[in-house]
């Protein structure tokens, strides 16, 4: 059998993403969970090393658990039964909305992985969106556990790097070495665990493994293909740079250009409403472009990882670096 290549993986993943646009709606919600692989990890490490902050949703979670914030918020509530009940209902609605969004995001992520796996196994035969959705719903709690574990890995990694950055700033001498070692170890451990959880999700959806079984199987798969996994992560990291270029181009042509046209027309016509309309149109156009692009890219990255997981799981996949050294 001909050995699958990275070029083939990218081509097949893009074909699946482009030809089955119904998956874009899944990608829209799956992007709420962040990217699979090492890109999100490296972004958080870079942010923590420069600012000493953890970033992400964790700071909002800590803010919610801070009693001082609740006391300040309750100070705006009138001391009567009607206001208190309205406040309680508002909290219940917001918590319920967050729970629904979390459920939909996890299920959509699983649906993309399941659809990509079926596409890879059955020669471009894509299961229906309903089948992919129901399969993902069946494994919701296991997928949720893997996502929570992945977020904890990202949090601990960012926390370690933030501590190293603060320690290095306070102790300029030995602190710089401690910071460098902290970043290296945190990145290595974070990369291993991030990729591990990607493969674990594949085992949950395709082999119906339990939480522990999926992690155990993913550990064996990663140990056999660690260099390939790292190469794929770096390859998708460069694809993220392409994404940033596309977003920057959209920012110039879809955001600033309508504002510029509106400003010039407003100056000619002497109307402030034309300027506001140009700004509003620019916001709406760029927002639609950015959300669509991010949704498509989320589907593409998830299907790429799934395609390579299926190939490594079923047939094996040789490292390109090893191939070059052999030559």
Q: Is it the case that residue 81 has pLDDT exceeding 70?
A: no
Give residue 104's pLDDT: 92
Asked if residues 167 and 179 have their Cβ atoms less than 8 Å apart, the reply is yes
Q: Is it the case that residue 63 has pLDDT exceeding 70?
A: no
Give residue 121's pLDDT: 76
DSSP letter assigned to residue 38: S
The Cα 223–Cα 229 span in angstroms is 10
Give residue 36's pLDDT: 66
pLDDT in tens, 108-131: 989 988 888 888 777 666 667 788
Does pTM top 0.85 for this prediction? no
Q: How confident is the model at residue 140 (pLDDT cuts 50, 70, 90)?
A: very high
Show the tokens assigned to 327.
């030559």
Give residue 301's pLDDT: 86
Q: Which residues of 88-123 are buried (b: 16+ CB within 10 A; e: fewer)?
A: eeeeeeeeeeeeeebebbbbbbbbbbbbbbbbbeee
Q: How do the domains of the chain map onto residue ranges?
A: 6-326
Give residue 60's pLDDT: 58
- Tokens 């990145």: give the residue: 187
pLDDT in tens, 197-245: 788 888 888 888 888 888 888 888 888 777 777 777 777 778 878 888 8
């Amino acid at each position: 059998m001909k050995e699958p290549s990275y070029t083939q993986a990218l081509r097949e993943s893009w074909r699946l993403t482009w030809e089955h646009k119904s998956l874009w709606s899944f990608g829209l919600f799956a992007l709420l969970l962040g990217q699979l692989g090492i890109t999100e990890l490296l972004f958080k490490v870079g942010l923590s090393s420069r600012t000493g902050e953890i970033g992400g949703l964790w700071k909002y979670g800590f803010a919610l658990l801070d009693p001082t914030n609740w006391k300040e918020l309750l100070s705006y509530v009138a001391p009567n039964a009607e206001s208190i009940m309205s406040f309680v209902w508002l909290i219940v609605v917001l918590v319920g909305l967050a729970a629904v969004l979390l459920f939909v995001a996890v299920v959509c992520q699983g649906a993309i992985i399941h659809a990509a796996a079926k596409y890879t196994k059955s020669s471009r035969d894509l299961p229906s969106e309903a089948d992919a959705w129901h399969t993902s719903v069946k494994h919701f709690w296991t997928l949720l556990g893997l996502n929570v574990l992945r977020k904890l890995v990202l949090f601990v990694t960012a926390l370690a790097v933030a501590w190293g950055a603060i320690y290095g700033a306070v102790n300029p001498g030995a602190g710089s070495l401690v910071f460098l070692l902290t970043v290296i170890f945190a990145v290595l451990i974070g990369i291993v665990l991030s990729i591990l959880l990607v493969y674990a999700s594949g085992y949950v959806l395709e082999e119906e493994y339990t939480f522990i079984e999926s992690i155990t199987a993913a550990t064996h798969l990663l140990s056999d293909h660690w260099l390939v996994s790292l190469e794929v992560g770096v390859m998708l990291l460069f694809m993220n740079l392409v994404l940033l270029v596309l977003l920057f181009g959209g920012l110039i042509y879809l955001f600033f250009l309508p504002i510029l046209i509106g400003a010039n027309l407003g100056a000619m016509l002497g109307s402030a409403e034309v300027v506001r309309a140009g700004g509003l149109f620019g916001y709406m156009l760029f927002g639609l472009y950015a959300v669509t692009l991010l949704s498509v890219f989320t589907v593409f990255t998830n299907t790429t990882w799934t395609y390579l997981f299926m190939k490594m799981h079923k047939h094996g996949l040789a490292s390109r670096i090893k191939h070059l050294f052999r030559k």
